[in-house]
Amino acid sequence: MKLGIEIGTITEAKADAIVVNLFEGVKKPGGGTGAVDKALDGAISEELSKGKQFSGKLGDTLVLPTYGKLPARYVVVVGLGKSADSNSRALRRASAAAVRACQKLKVKSVATILHGAGTGGVALETAARLLAEGSLLGAYKFMLRKSAQKEDESPKNPINTVTVYETDKTKKAALQKGLDIGITIAQAVCQARDWVFDSANNITPSFLAGEAQKIAKSGTVTCKILDKAELEKLGMGSFLSVAKGSVEPPKLIHLTYKPTGKAKKKVALVGKGITFDSGGLSLKPATAMELMKMDMSGAAAVINTMKAIAEMGNLDVEVHAIAPCCENMPNGNANKPGDIVTAMNGKTIEINNTDAEGRLILCDALVYAQEKIKPDEIIDLATLTGACIVALGKEASGIMGTSDKLSEGVRKAGDIAGERYWPLPLYDEFKEMLKSDVADVINAGSKGQAGSSAGGIFLKDFVKDGQAWVHLDIAGPAWTDRDVPEVPKGATGVGVRTLLYYLYGFKELT
């Protein structure tokens, strides 16, 4: 689907469908919506007066045929919710809802006004970015492995174009800049979704390494891939202990972006890349294993964040993305409960649960980041614990770390990006759960007790004093059973938007 700009009035648009908007509670439409209402002889106002089908509630849509009164066949009115509650999440969701309504109409071309930029007072670039994000995220559907598209699985005539209509040609540059940024962000999220949706026999550590190398071909990002021999030289015994149970070779992916001028800070993004998690010898039940192809959601997020940065550039932050990638399988070489392994920093770990493997690969990646990069900040993302789903469900990721400033910055960025994070504690008392009689630490704490914090406190043990570090447990939101306009059921691509919004400093409705 292509997004573009046309200078002209929305009533002249020759698209199959026209999209206009309305805040909740408005009885007499104005602006572009008012012009369309007038062309339809007050059809929108008439529906509002009834107050039954449509009132402007956020994400609600009203579809009206034009009966030849406009060049378009349909008009779609999307609700923006209450004006006082308008924010980035609302405008993104409205754009997604509008596109979904158009998909149901099986139209190929859509013309739209810009949501929030009129009476809403939102800056043009911001409104255009949110429209692009919402449109592409809402239209997303994973179809890569379908041999044929059945009518009930995908629109018979998918939307080819969404065109923003604007009467003032002096605004075109700002609109185009916003659209371009929004398209880049959404495409990065959608590629992360594709990888998480896809199967583990396709999305292997080697595949992810190859995709990272493709990103580096842009020239703005460099890529280093460390294989088993190099990981052994670095002493990554914890990471390698997980990988040895699989025939798939492990890969540590390291992507780097450096600004042309002086960087204001250096940030390391670390993403868990377990491309399939059987649980190892601590085998998962069959039903719990079905979706374990998605255990590389953290790696998908950090790699695709770098994809977006490579395309957008114009960032005054040095960014490193590190993704330790392997499978967790139960062959004859696999970790056994009771095994003791040594991490890159020399700490010894007693493995009492081979299904707590994510922290075993992340701890070495965290040490690598600190020793090789020396970042000002580290943000790691991982589908780390089922306990986080128990605590927060699918609506929010857990956030914990060593820096309140960094945690709050990431959390606020997530709110604006449409991804929620809820603080969880890292009390010193939790260290008692990870004491080992035979090693420095065990890898899994007391079952049923603060599981997410236990995972976080384990990782904190590999973070140097004074290092600003935040851990995002994305186990819940990485895959959703709930369908909302901008996040269809399944893989969500969570984390990409948060990281980009944090790094680029995007603000709320500016």
Residues with Cβ within 8 Å of 129's Cβ and at least 6 positions away in sequence, in order, are 178, 179, 181, 182, 185, 506
179 and 56 part of one domain? yes
Q: Tell me which of 92, 129, 251, 359 is the catalytic residue.
A: 359
Residues with Cβ within 8 Å of 118's Cβ and at least 6 positions away in sequence, in order, are 30, 31, 32
**Cα separation of 258 and 266, whole Å?**
9
Active site residue 394: no
Q: What mean pLDDT is reported for the chain? A: 96
Active site residue 359: yes
149 and 20 part of one domain? yes
162 and 217 part of one domain? no
CA dihedral over 302, 212, 261, 187, signed as positive or negative: negative
**Cα separation of 370 and 268, whole Å?**
9
Q: What are phi and psi of 345, to 5 degrees?
A: -90, 10
236 and 152 part of one domain? no
202 and 182 part of one domain? no
Provide the residue count of the chain. Answer: 510
Which tens digit of pLDDT belongs to each residue from 90-148?
A: 999 999 999 999 999 999 999 999 999 877 789 999 999 999 999 999 999 998 888 76
Instruction: For residues 165-173, give the mean pLDDT.
Output: 96
What percentage of the chain carries pLDDT values higher than 70?
A: 98
Residues with Cβ within 8 Å of 431's Cβ and at least 6 positions away in sequence, in order, are 457, 461
Q: What are residue 21's DSSP bridge partners?
A: 78
124 and 61 part of one domain? yes
What is the extent of the structural domain holding 288?
Answer: 198-467
**Cα separation of 300 and 294, whole Å?**
9
Asked if residue 497 belongs to a domain, the reply is: no
Which tens digit of pLDDT belongs to each residue from 361-371?
A: 999 999 999 99
Asked if residue 495 belongs to a domain, the reply is: no
Per the structure, the count of domains in the chain is: 2
Question: How does DSSP assign 15-54, residue by residue?
Answer: SSEEEEEE-TT-SS--HHHHHHHHHTTTHHHHHHHH-SS-
Q: Tell me which of 73, 284, 372, 431 is the catalytic residue.
A: 284
230 and 306 part of one domain? yes
Put simply, whether the predicted model's pTM sits higher than 0.85 gets the answer yes
Q: Please say if the pLDDT value at position 152 is more than 80.
A: no
**Cα separation of 376 and 266, whole Å?**
5
